[in-house]
Structure 1
């Protein structure tokens, strides 16, 4: 599994991690097994949030990482509605209890909300000073929102922006990704398979994806993950509700694509026009 530095933090983590959105709708035992098999395969970055299943997914993750906490780079998120100064502190404490741990490696504001960002970032810094989080960042922030967060927090403080990014949705490449590159901010791609929008294998683009996968003896999903990782700040967190799916995702961590492969994918899945907004699910 390839590792790279998580932005300016310098912390080396795997390029392929594990997402847990909507895991509360899946079989719990199978999900715990998938997460544990994923850790075994090198996917030690696990991402969750207080929103997922109203805390149920954090509890599930807590079961999966029991006795293995030191192997994991653990991330969670605070809901915007809870992101006042006091609310952020309290939300973090709840997440820590559900996750059965005394610290998070990364804590994110799930999306921009109505509470002043100054309050949220102040709480993040105090949580870090208390040893309850190691790093903090944001999620679903567009260029203007991220620039504001950087200005408020100061340089080398916003460690990550977690955003929607997949073959059929490359909007972050226009403004957000370049901004993150300039500031040493990690980009974590959620829903890297499009959350139900994975390319149709009978489409022209889907056939290109399938042909590259066949030539390399891998799956189209592995090619899709690897394509997103072609720029240094990017990490991916696909969800897997079964061990087989987790292992398939992990295999993308050691895959390499040629310049020709990348050019063919660029043509098959064009960037599209600049809509001036950051898409979310």
Structure 2
């Protein structure tokens, strides 16, 4: 199984403000030019505006050298509607296939129908792999009980310093069952809320000569086993994200961080933005 790990580029809220378009495209291209090959988007983001902007940003690049993830609405999770959603996404992105296509969150449609539709799209080469998003452990177990469910390639959930409940049971389950884990909103900014910058975080950042936000991002990548997808709307932010890949947190750093943001010791409801 190909492993999705390290740093990708998130695009939530990107492409919605025409005044920011130039800066957002420049940031994505800077990422691509500097080794960040994974872009995560969704039909929901700006009702297609994010995908459209990604499509503009990747024009002229070698498609085979990048990895594009997109998602479809739960109310489009039937074979017929998945196909319609995918065709619209492909047009906006200006590509003829998507590397990973995710059910954005659970809805009312039967998982067996959703999987059947995704299998057809995969057989036709329109998508390379499929997966889910905002699924908890029980959802994943149910998915695996449905015919074809074990072919799920990835699950994308909220994961950051402040929201680390998935470490208790979901991350170990996915590792055991060889399902890639993608963590979104590493800064928790998607909720309009940000992670508190504690004295310990500042101390760890000072020791590494980086910003507290770079420590937050490095922390999500510390295991080398998950993919994190921060958004960057300008080149400076993208540069900082890229630099965070080189930060190696020590056991002492992790102890300081854990004292402010404790390791989960019991099952927690899945955090979602």
**What range is the shorter-chain TM-score in?**
over 0.9
Report if aligned partners of 1:137, 1:159 keep a CA contact under 8 Å in 2: yes
Q: Is 2:229 the partner of 1:237? A: yes
What TM-score comes out, normalization by structure 2 length?
0.93
Report if aligned partners of 1:14, 1:44 keep a CA contact under 8 Å in 2: no
Deviation at 1:275, TM superposition (A): 5.5
Residue in 2 aligned with 1:199?
195
Q: How does 1:73-92 map to 2 (within 5 A)?
A: 73-92=67-86
Q: Is 2:7 the partner of 1:16? A: yes
Aligned counterpart in structure 1 of residue 173 of structure 2, from 168, 176, 179:
179
Residue in 2 aligned with 1:104?
98
Distance 1:123 1:233 in 2: 29
Deviation at 1:49, TM superposition (A): 0.2
Residue in 1 aligned with 2:182?
188
Report if aligned partners of 1:14, 1:253 keep a CA contact under 8 Å in 2: no
Residue in 2 aligned with 1:141?
135
Report if aligned partners of 1:82, 1:88 keep a CA contact under 8 Å in 2: yes
Aligned counterpart in structure 1 of residue 29 of structure 2, from 30, 36, 53:
36
Q: Is 2:44 the partner of 1:48? A: no
Distance 1:21 1:72 in 2: 18
List per-residue Cα deviations over 1:116-171 (Å, max 9, x = no partner). Answer: 11111111111111011111100000111111112225475111110001111111
The 3 A distance-change label for structure 1 pair 233 and 149 is farther
Deviation at 1:231, TM superposition (A): 2.8
Deviation at 1:200, TM superposition (A): 3.1
Deviation at 1:14, TM superposition (A): 5.5
Report if aligned partners of 1:185, 1:233 keep a CA contact under 8 Å in 2: no
Report if aligned partners of 1:184, 1:233 keep a CA contact under 8 Å in 2: no
Moved over 2 A (4+): 153-156, 196-201, 230-233, 271-276
Distance 1:14 1:183 in 2: 16
Query: How many residues in Structure 1 have an aligned counterpart in Structure 2?
Result: 268
Deviation at 1:270, TM superposition (A): 0.9
